[in-house]
Structure 1
Amino acid sequence: MPAINKALTLKDLPTPPSDKIGWPWTEENQPLPERMPDGSEWPRISIVTPSYNYGQFIEETIRSVLLQGYPNLEFIIIDGGSNDNTVEIIKKYEEYFAYWVSEKDRGQTDAINKAYQHCTGDLFVWLNADDSYIEATILQKVVNYYLQGYQLIAGGCQDTYTQENGKNDIYYSYPTTFERYLKFWISNCNYTQPSVFVTKEIVDKCFPLDWQLYILMDYQFFLRVLSQQPKSIYVNQAWTNCKKHGLNKTMSDYPGGISEFYQVTTWESKKLPLLQRYLFLNELKDYAVIHSLLDNFNSLTPMQVLSSLASRPIIVRWPLFWKLLLKYSIGTKAYSWLKKLAN
């Protein structure tokens, strides 16, 4: 199945469900012409969607991609053998995919790795099966930045809560470096993954990702991207709608998250110069002690906090350690009152 070499419109796609209106069901935008003004092909954009039992969301994802009005699109879906209506929906649109498969796999990271083997685009992004583009001209905006020479093009995400009491928020990616991004306790992993497009020459050096990663495959990916110092642009516009419905991995209390951080940073820090890596790994050990204190906050006494110095005296250089010690000593309420007073 080849890449789509024409801009699709509503009349090309199957009729949407009768209860769906607006974007991307009954609305579209003016598509780009089949070729650029100089007569050459538009840069190819590869979009990968890993999927498993998200039939309630994936049709909106698919339509938001196909109705981008973009003439050189390579759309790949890797489904993990869904047993809901996901495959039925995929088959409804299958003529517009460059490749798709539904088979048992080893999880989301494995699916993304498999998908990348089929990617031939100049730009790459993965869009999860419960995410969608927020309007019809996102790819047109992205390609304009690509044609200016940018290798990492980052927009924002709007988190949309399906629960009635949820508050919709917009998040943006912010410039950072490989060294700073390694220190996850500082950077807070500030990349809005479905809105970040990266060029093939950069991405080719990032795959395969560690298939065993359950939640931090995007963190590993962006570390590998940043290690190559791409020419980057950060755009304060929401490009994707990321649904928060309670089943998201990022909303689950996954106990292995911190272990994955240690695993990824320990491995990827090998890209640092030897001395710099030694210093980083020492900071990582410091943070492991402090994180243990945070994790056991309700069960420790001030003396037990101080005793952590015996195993790791160097943590005294961390302001966070002294904040924790103060909070343990005077209690959370008094600490909060002091913070307000200080401000």
Structure 2
Amino acid sequence: MSIVPELKTILRHASGFRLGQFQAYPPRPIRAPAAGPDYISPLSISIVTPVLNQAAFVAQTIESVLMQRVSPLEYIVIDGGSTDGTTDTVALYRKYLSHFESQKDSGQSDALNKGFALASGDILGWLNGDDFLLPGALEFVARFFTAHPDVDVVYGDRIVVDRDSREIGRWMLPSHSNRILSWVDYIPQETVFWRRRLWERVGSRLDDSFDFAMDWELLVRFRECGARFRHLPRFIGAFRVHSAQKTIAQKDLGLAEMNRIRGRCLGYVPSEGELRLAVIPYVMRHLGREWRSRLMPTPTARS
């Protein structure tokens, strides 16, 4: 039996490299930032949740948005015709939602486009039906956008959780790199928010020819329009790992769509070796932040 996979695991643990990993350590209780008092934002926020057969998780997703203690907040849930009880669970929260519908659609991008067509917020973002926001996330995002009118897109750090909402990993990202977007998408989708003016500039739609990498494709379009990105050094959202999620269940589709984006950005599809070399500078900056947080912990790093 080859020892290479085991050696890779040992080296990752020793170095602190966690980007792209779905389990970095054994499950433990989640540690998250604390929420502040109620906050009235000068910028309205719209969140869209596309959901399909996620009855086991969608209640936590919805509650994580409704408990953000920020207003004005518009929350739209678009169900693709679930058959596992998801619609019954969402119905329990119906009076708190700005819009809810359940009907068969042509995929996640279609559902998101339906939701965003109804959204009226100054700040937009989406949260999948198996992920959740961390306390105080939307206040942090809204305050940042208000204080930085020149910034178009923000995203934060990610906590990785298992199906029981136990923490199994953390992605602490370095400052934003436009270059890395041509090679790999390390940006945690559930932490991404953008301004309406930018959304309108790129056509107010996700590319529904993508069913897996639609978030990466949107970020590339944002970049092509000259958007100003900013990484926020705070844990914003939690990404859930479970056997039925698309990231695991549709690996071949995901690879095809990611290579389609690489071909568009780079003019060719790079080899695995070329990818590894290209991401080294970014990974080194990630490791620098990871080790700084370990050696010189701050409230943000501990949160």
Partner of 1:109: 109
Q: Deviations over 1:220-245 (max 9, x none)?
A: 01111122222332112111111111
Superposed displacement of residue 102, structure 1: 0.4
Answer yes or no: is the 8 Å Cα contact 1:28–1:67 preserved in 2: no
Structure richer in strand, relative to its length: 2
Aligned partner of residue 81 in structure 2, secondary structure: coil
Give CA-to-partner distance per residue, 1:288-311, whole Å, 9 cap, x none.
xx35xx8xxxxxxxxxxxxxxxxx
Q: Does 1:32 align with 2:39?
A: yes
Q: Is the 8 A contact 2:163 2:241 kept in 1?
A: yes
- Report deviation, 1:90: 1.4
Shift of residue 164 of structure 1? 10
Please tell me whether the aligned partners of residues 58 and 129 of structure 1 are also in contact (alpha carbons under 8 angstroms).
yes
1:144 equivalent in alignment to 2:140 = no
> Cα gap change, 1:173/1:58 in structure 2, threshold over 3 Å: closer, same or farther?
farther
Distance change (3 Å), C-alpha of 1:265 and 1:114 = farther
Task: Decide whether aligned partners of structure 1 residues 173 and 251 sit closer, same or farther in structure 2, where only a CA change above 3 A counts.
Answer: farther
- CA spacing shift, 1:29–1:219, aligned 2, 3 Å: same
RMSD (Å), alpha carbons: 2.9
Task: Return the offset for 1:180.
Answer: 4.3
Q: 1:84-133, CA deviations, whole angstroms, 9 ceiling, x for partnerless residues?
A: 12111211111222211100001111111111111111111110111111
* Matched residue type, 1:126: W
Higher relative contact order (CA 8 A, sep 6+): 2
Q: Secondary structure at the match of 1:203?
A: helix
TM-score under structure 1 normalisation? 0.64
SS in 2 for 1:46: strand
Paired position in structure 2 for 1:200: 196
- Whole-angstrom distance in 2 between the partners of 1:53 and 1:191: 25
What is the deviation of 1:173? 6.5
- Alignment deviations for residues 166-210 of structure 1 (CA, whole Å, 9 cap, x no partner): 832334374122x5422x2xxx21211110110001112333222
Please list every run of 5 or more consecutive structure 1 residues that lacks an aligned counterpart in the other structure.
1-21, 37-41, 270-279, 295-317, 322-343
Tell me how far apart the structure 2 counterparts of residues 246 and 126 of structure 1 sit (CA, whole Å). Answer: 22
**1:246 to partner: Cα distance:** 1.7
SS at match of 1:105: coil
Could you say if the C-alpha distance between residues 228 and 253 of structure 1 is closer, same or farther in structure 2, counting changes exceeding 3 Å?
same
**Cα separation, 2, equivalents of 1:65 and 1:91:** 15
Q: What residue is the counterpart of 1:18 in the other structure?
A: none
SS at match of 1:168: strand
Identity percentage of aligned residues: 24
3-state SS of paired residue (1:71): strand
Q: How does 1:259-298 map to 2 (within 5 A)?
A: 259-266=256-263, 269=265, 280-281=266-267, 284-285=268-269, 287=270, 290=271
Report if aligned partners of 1:174, 1:190 keep a CA contact under 8 Å in 2.
Answer: no
What does 1:128-277 align with in structure 2 at a 5 Å threshold?
Answer: 128-135=128-135, 137-148=136-147, 149=149, 150-162=151-163, 167-172=168-173, 174-177=175-178, 180-182=180-182, 184=183, 188-206=184-202, 207-252=204-249, 254-266=251-263, 269=265
Aligned-partner SS, 1:262: helix
What is the rounded CA distance, in whole Å, between the counterparts of 1:217 and 1:202 in structure 2?
A: 16
1:131 maps to amino acid:
D
Q: Is the 8 A contact 1:125 1:196 kept in 2?
A: yes
Cα distance in 1 for partners of 2:223, 2:49 equals: 23
Please give the TM-score of this superposition, normalised by the length of structure 2: 0.72
Structure 2 unaligned residues grouped into runs of 5+:
1-29, 278-303
Asked if the contact 1:123/1:197 (under 8 Å) is kept, the reply is yes
With over 3 angstroms needed to count, the CA separation of the structure-2 counterparts of 1:85 and 1:126, relative to structure 1, is same
- How many residue pairs match? The answer is 244
1:210–1:32 distance in 2 versus 1, CA, 3 Å: closer
Q: Do the aligned partners of residues 166 and 143 (structure 1) sit closer, same or farther apart at CA in structure 2, a change above 3 Å counting?
A: closer
